[in-house]
């Protein structure tokens, strides 16, 4: 087994751990928060509120479970293939792993219950109630975007440096 395959396997294992953590927290939220509705953590700032979301982010596509399950499944298979087949650095790998773990966590809810259990409610802004899987997905997407911007900047800088070494001019002198 090559190093790349070991790293890929480890990424899938980490994603599985993220899924397990997500599902355990959702079980806790269902057992503890559902009966009481909400628990204040920091008054005026944060509460844990039991909320069932039948849509995706901000309840978009609410009630379209078959479409959401199909789209999410296809995207997650693509993410899994990227993790297994593409050679990448740690930053990009972590990003894709977070997206896979969070996506599977919410897909399990959608598939088994038709809704996603959300429980984190930020009170000082008007924002959707969300969960650990959402945090993983969001952190993964933001990290991936940052990596793409960084990599693009790095390649552009290297190209400019190479042009200067080779005496290539862009005609702006």
| Residues recognised as catalytic | 118, 134
Work out the angle between the directed axes of helices 65-85 and 3-28 (0-180°, nearest 10). 150
Give strand pairing partners of 130.
120
Side-chain half-sphere exposure of 3, counting CA atoms within 13 A: 3
β-sheet with 38-42: strand ranges across: 38-42, 46-53, 116-122
Specify whether the CB–CB gap between 26 and 109 falls below 8 A.
yes
Helices (H), the chain: 3-28, 34-36, 65-85, 90-113, 132-165
Give strand pairing partners of 42.
46
């Amino acid at each position: 087994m090559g190093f790349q395959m070991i790293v890929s396997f480890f990424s899938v294992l980490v994603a599985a751990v993220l899924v397990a953590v997500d599902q355990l927290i959702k079980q806790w939220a269902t057992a503890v928060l559902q009966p009481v509705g909400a628990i204040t953590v920091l008054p005026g700032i944060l509460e844990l509120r039991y909320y069932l979301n039948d849509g995706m982010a901000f309840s978009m596509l609410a009630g379209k479970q078959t479409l959401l399950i199909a789209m999410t499944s296809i995207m997650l298979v693509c993410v899994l293939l990227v993790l297994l087949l593409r050679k990448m650095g740690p930053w990009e790998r972590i990003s894709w792993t977070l997206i896979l773990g969070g996506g599977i966590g919410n897909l399990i809810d959608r598939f088994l219950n038709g809704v996603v259990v959300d429980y984190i409610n930020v009170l000082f802004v008007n924002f959707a109630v969300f969960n650990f899987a959402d945090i993983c997905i969001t952190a993964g997407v933001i990290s991936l975007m940052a990596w793409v911007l960084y990599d693009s900047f790095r390649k552009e800088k290297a190209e400019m440096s190479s042009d200067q070494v080779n005496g290539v001019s862009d005609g702006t002198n």
